[in-house]
Amino acid sequence: MKYNVVVMGASTNPERYSYKAVKMLAEYGYGVFPVHPSKKPIDGIRCYPSLSSISEPVDTITVYLSERNSTPVIEEIIEAHPRRVILNPGAYNDKLARRCEEAGIQVQEACTLVLLKTGQF
């Protein structure tokens, strides 16, 4: 396993990019921790109700939440102490980006799927 990646806003819908990210991260050998309040497994991968319910160390958090949904979990993201946070298209949140940078967390505005496919993840 390469390292642990949290997918915030993971979906059980195969049409959603957050579902595709969970699948592709697993295929590429990363430890994948989908987060969604419904807690339904995603293609056999355990889903967590919140970031704080994950006890493993987290290297990367890839965000698929709107600003409205990511703002309430900013402090939870900071407290997880990830090395970086990826803000996928449609998930940019200026307040989240600023707080991460203040906490010394790398912020990347990018598409997780593209980063994986091009070897830049």
Question: Whole domain around residue 89: which residue ranges?
Answer: 4-117
- CB half-sphere exposure, 110, CA atoms < 13 A: 19
Q: What is the pLDDT of residue 44?
A: 93
Structure confidence at residue 38 as a pLDDT band (50, 70, 90): confident
* pLDDT averaged over every residue in the chain: 96
Q: What is the pLDDT of residue 39?
A: 84
Instruction: Look at the pTM and tell me if it is higher than 0.85.
Output: yes
86: amino acid identity, one letter:
I
Domain of 52: which CATH number? 3.40.50.720
> What is the count of structural domains for the chain?
1
Over 90: is that where the pLDDT of 1 sits? no
Structure confidence at residue 29 as a pLDDT band (50, 70, 90): very high
Per-residue pLDDT tens digits for 42-89: 999 999 999 999 999 999 999 999 999 999 999 999 999 999 999 999
Rounded CA-CA distance 86/111 in Å is: 8
